[in-house]
Amino acid sequence: MYSLILGKRHRGAYAHTPSTTLLDASGKSCPMNAMFADPSAMMAALKRSGQCTIASGEQDAPLVQAMLPGGPMAKEFTKDEVEVVRRWIKSGAPLIADQSEGASSEGNDVRINANAHFKFTL
């Protein structure tokens, strides 16, 4: 989800009307366009603003609905991209560890044991 937002930021940051807002960490309405600069903050804001909540009787959350045929973003997202968003939401819309809301940095340590040099043949 993070990389999807990052990849769309050049178009996305100008596409939304200034009145389209999300709630920032302090609960203030913040224009969505500005949030493209910080995808993890945007993910938290989408969640906080109810965009990831599937209403009863609905198949998809508002964010996904806006990306499906008939929605305002239908032409901007491929089927696979919509699936990325849908899966992110279905798995509870997890946030990046540096966001405090329910995220934890536990188990986020990655050690890369790189070889000093290696050889490959084409």
49 or 116: CB nearest ligand HEM:
49
Binding site for ligand HEM (CB under 6 A): 4-5, 8, 11-12, 15-17, 20, 46, 51, 62-63, 66, 72-73, 76
> CA end-to-end span of the chain, whole Å?
34
8 or 48: CB nearest ligand HEM:
8
> Minimum distance from CB of 20 to ligand HEM (Å)?
4
74 or 97: CB nearest ligand HEM:
74
> Minimum distance from CB of 91 to ligand HEM (Å)?
16
d(CA 80, CA 60): 15
> Minimum distance from CB of 48 to ligand HEM (Å)?
12
Q: Which two tokens stand for residue 70?
A: 């008939």
Look at the chain and count its residues. Answer: 122
23 or 103: CB nearest ligand HEM:
23
93 near 39, Cβ under 8 Å?
no
Rounded alpha-carbon distances, angstroms, from residue 82 to 56, 64, 67, 100, 104 = 20, 7, 7, 26, 26
> Minimum distance from CB of 30 to ligand HEM (Å)?
12
103 near 97, Cβ under 8 Å?
yes
